[in-house]
Structures are given as C-alpha cells and as structure tokens.
Amino acid sequence: MSARILLAGHGSVGKAFHELVAETGAGKVVGVLRRAGAWLDENGVAPGGTLLAKRQHLSVVEALDKLRPDVFVELTPSNLQTGEPAAGHIRAALERDIPVVTANKGPLLRHFDALTTLARERGVPFRFEGTVGGSIPVMNLHEFCLPGNPVTRVDGILNGTSNYILTRMAEEGLGFAEALKEAQELGYAEADPTADVQGHDAAAKLCILANAVLGVPVRFEDVHREGIQSISAGAIRLAEREGYAIRLIASVDGATKRASVAPRLVPHTSTLNVRGTLNVVRFTTQHAGAFTISGKGAGGKETATAVLSDMLHVLRASR
C-alpha cells in the first residue's frame, strides 16, 4: 500500500517534493498544509491540486490527528531565530509517533538536542538530510557510509550564493556589489542578501553538521563568523595570482570544538575549491584521511531529492 504523506509547506522545495513523489510513485500526499489553508484527499492531492481543490482550515496538529499519516514532511519557511513554528510541528508529530522528515534548518539549529532526543526516546524516525548541502548526501554519508571510521573535523562551502559571487568576482574581475547584483538578477541571491553574504546561512548549517556528525553541541552564537561583503576585487586578484581562490569556508573541529565561517585562501588545486553555486563538504576521518563530496547545494528540486531519500529511509525502517 502506498505510503500516506502529510506535507506542511508548499514553497519551492515543497512543490518539487510533491512533484517528485508523484513522478516516482514513492507514496501519496494525502494532505498539504499551506498558510492559505489545508488540502486533504485520501486519493492523493495532485501537485497542482492546491490551486484548485477545496480548502479547509486545519492546524498542523489537527491535520496530524485527523490523518495519522505514515510520515510528516515539514517544509515550512525557516525561522533561524526561534525555529518556530516548525519545531512545534515536528514535536507534535514525534509525540504522536509519526516519523518526520524535514529540510527546515531553524528547528535543528535551535532545538537539535530536544528534537533528536525526543525522537530517539520514542524510537520514531526523524531525518533532516535536506537541511545542509541541498542535494548532497551529508547526513546519510556520515550515518551509512562511515561506520567504524569516526569523523574528526568538517570543512566546507555551505552557501552557494556567496560562492557564486566570489567565483564571478575572480572570473570577471567584478567588484562585490556588481557580482551581488548579477546573482540577484539570476535569482541566486535574495533581495536582502544578508543571510547569504554575511555567513548566517552557512553558520546555521555548520551548527547542524557539528551536532549531527561530530556530536559537538555548537550553537549559532558560538560560531566565529565573517562574511564576504568586504572582500575586494583587488584581494581576489592578488590571491588568484598566487594560485589561491578566496572561498567562504565553514569549519568545525571535533577536538577543539571551535567553529567558524570566514573567507579563506584555498589553493586552486584543493578539492574544496568548487565554483559557482556548488557546495562542498570535506569530512576528515580517523582512519582514512579526508573525503570530499560536492554537488548542487540549493534549488527546490535538488533539495527535494534529499527529502525524498530521507522519506524512503523512513518507510524502509517502518516496514
């Protein structure tokens, strides 16, 4: 029987996930919750269905109680300050023993310990691959591919927008403002680019990585953070001439527990030196040196693949 999915949030990731579920037949979305209302259909809400079908007014808790879905997928807009209301949604599902998948950074950033403890104590699957690195399997690589080989340090480029800006500054000799404007025109940067260029987004992801992969309880406020807004075209030119790129590198060390997001000189030849909107994560391990994985770090469909992969893990586990 097809898995019954309750989906909260229908932005770019939510819509793409909804379409992927329909396309792959991985389950059926029996409820969609948006700010504008709730769409329920036991036969499956079609991806475009929320534009047409009858709307109800239901809270997330009411929908969880009414539908008792096989999995709850939390993709509402992220709030990095409080993690709410997503954290409340996730808590409500876990308390009802309903497995949860999310790509929402806020609740993991602000309530990592409380939520993962609740899930563990109740034995309910709770997965959040999509919170870090978009499509790149970071959490699952750690969980499934490195047993017996502890990760001691994580470094990476976790924000595609700032990496795009730095790449274009180097390629075209643009200044920061010009490159930012280009990124905004192409839809890579938001009208208010603060979260991307000042490193807030990367710092939030780094905290989740530190907690999930290293077991180090780094909080957002603990991260030493510098953005890229004061990097000049001249500084980039100088670095490039000597064989280096300037990259916004997020790092956390398991031994010192120090975490930082800051512009760094990265040799052109380094596996960390990815370009454009790519993200990259390097795990340093105890027994086998470093692994580096890169891929598309953002985008609705890309992040939706991470959510889908988590959902398939949940369904496998509960079979």
CA distance 134 to 307: 9
Query: CB-based contacts of 204: which residues, under 8 Å, 6+ apart?
Result: 80, 105, 106, 109, 220
**Minimum distance of a second copy from residue 74's CB (angstroms):** 18
> Residue 269 is encoded by which pair of tokens?
């030849």
Q: Which stretch binds a second copy (CB under 8 A): 47-55, 76-84, 107-115, 305-313?
A: 305-313
CA distance 119 to 112: 11
Nearest to a second copy of 102, 260 (CB atom): 102
Catalytic: 296?
Answer: no
Which of these is catalytic: 15, 28, 205, 296? 205
Contact set for a second copy, span 268-297 (CB under 8 A): 268-269, 271, 274-275, 278, 285, 287-296
3 belongs to the binding site for a second copy (CB under 8 A): no
Amino acid at 201: D
Say whether 114 sits in a helix, a strand or coil.
Answer: helix
CA distance 106 to 50: 25
Nearest to a second copy of 24, 232 (CB atom): 24
Cα angle, residue 208 at apex, residues 103 and 76 outer, rounded to 5°: 25
Contact set for a second copy, span 138-177 (CB under 8 A): 140-141, 143-149
Q: Are strands 244-253 and 259-267 parallel, antiparallel or unpaired?
A: antiparallel
**Interface map 218-257 toward a second copy (x if CB under 8 A):** ----------------------------------------
Residue ranges that bind a second copy, judged by CB under 8 A: 20, 24, 26, 134-137, 140-141, 143-149, 268-269, 271, 274-275, 278, 285, 287-296, 301-302, 304-305, 308-309, 311-313
